[in-house]
Structure 1
Amino acid sequence: MPNDVLRRKMAHLFALLDVDDDGTVDKMDYTASADRLVTAFGFAPGSAESRRVRERYAKLWDEVTLPMDADGDERVDVAEFAAGFDTFVTARGEGYREHIAPVADAFYDLMDTDGDGRITRTEYLRMAGSAFRMTETDGQAAFDHLDLDSNGWLSREELHLANEQYFRSPDEHSPGNWLFGPLPASL
């Protein structure tokens, strides 16, 4: 059973993924997030980059989120979402590597627009605003927490560490808790 910090993180991510703000997440929400992301980075809908991100989102929906749907309506509410992430990712040894890491890699490759192996603040802010509807202020604060060595860019390793901490760490002070901006103080 996830602790309060993990429940808050899942509720926060759920709110960011619920694109149409209807209180549930469905495949359309995942498709819309993927499309906003590739559009923000200037890739055409049929491009290889677009297909890759959409495929990773679809796989995440099919293999992780859809199985969370306890009532079979192909929509996941926040309670199902939190319980499902606990089952598929948080409590499971290889859950992060199997389900979240491939999506994080697709994001990283897309964000790294100049191919230098580094995610700059500008690249991160573009992703945070488009895919996760984060404000610039929240994105700036998140980047500052995630840039562990304060070198002004995020490495793939920093991004994976942040993602794994977000989905698995019960520690209130993990830098990865900032991956999607500041957490709400309570549920």
Structure 2
Amino acid sequence: MLSELQRRKFEHLFTLLDVDDDGTIDRMDYTASADRLVSAFGYATDSLECRQLRDRYNTLWETVTLPMDTDGDERVDVEEYSTGMERFVTSAEGGYQDHIAPVADAFYDLMDVDQDGLITRMEYVRMMSSAFRLSEEASLTAFDHLDLDGNGVLSRDELHLANEQFFRGDDAEAKGNWIFGPLPLLV
């Protein structure tokens, strides 16, 4: 069973994923998020990078999000999403590695424009504002919480650790709670 913290994290992420703000997530929300991200980083919508991100989002939709749909309308509301995330990611052995990490890796590949294995503050801000509609201020605050060693960049390992803390963790003090910006309960 999800803790109150986990439920609040998934409600927050749901809001960021609901691109058209209609109170549900559907395949189009994932596609729109992917398209905005690749556009923000200068890739064409028919580029290999875009196709890879769309493919991984599509796999996430088909294997995780669509099965959350309990009423068969191919749309997932916030309750279905939270319950489904618990079933497929939070409590499932390998749930993060199997379902979330491949999408996260596609994001990191797009963000790491110079291919040095590191994500700068501005790359992170560009990703958060384009894919998740997060403000620059909220994105910068998130980055500062995630940059554990204070070196001004995030490694892929730091980002995966933060993501896994967000999706699977129940520690209110975990830095990974900030991966998608400030949570209402942490502000």
Matched letter for residue 127 of structure 2: M
Query: Per the alignment, in what secondary structure is the counterpart of residue 10 of structure 2?
Result: helix
Match of 1:60 in 2: 60
- Report how far residue 149 of structure 1 moved: 1.0
**Structure 2 equivalent of residue 95 of structure 1:** 95
TM-score (norm 2): 0.98
Q: Work out whether 1:5 is the aligned partner of 2:9.
A: no
Structure 1 partner of 2:123 = 123
The residue type paired with residue 178 of structure 2 is W
TM-score, normalised via structure 1 length: 0.98
% same residue: 66
Deviation at 1:185, TM superposition (A): 2.2
Q: Which amino acid aligns with 1:121?
A: R
Once residues 77 and 47 of structure 2 are traced to their aligned partners in structure 1, the CA distance between those partners, rounded to angstroms, is 32
1:166 is aligned to 166
SS at 1:154 equivalent: strand
TM superposition shift of 1:184: 1.1
- Counterparts of 1:46 and 1:28 in 2: how far apart (Å)? 17
Distance 1:148 1:48 in 2: 32
Could you report, residue by residue, the CA deviation over 1:51-70 in whole angstroms, capped at 9, with x for unpaired residues?
01111111111111000000
**Residue 179 in 1 paired to residue 179 in 2?**
yes
Counterpart residue identity of residue 97, structure 2: R
CA distance in 2, matches of 1:123, 1:138: 14
- Superposition misfits of 4+ residues, deviation over 4 angstroms: none
Task: Show the counterpart of 2:141.
Answer: 141
Measure the CA separation in 2 of the matches of 1:30 and 1:107.
Answer: 13
1:93 positional shift: 1.3
1:118 and 1:7 mapped to 2: Cα distance?
30
Q: Secondary structure of 2:19's match?
A: coil
Count of aligned pairs:
186
Structure-2 separation of matches of 1:148 and 1:177: 13
Structure 1 unaligned blocks of 5 or more: none
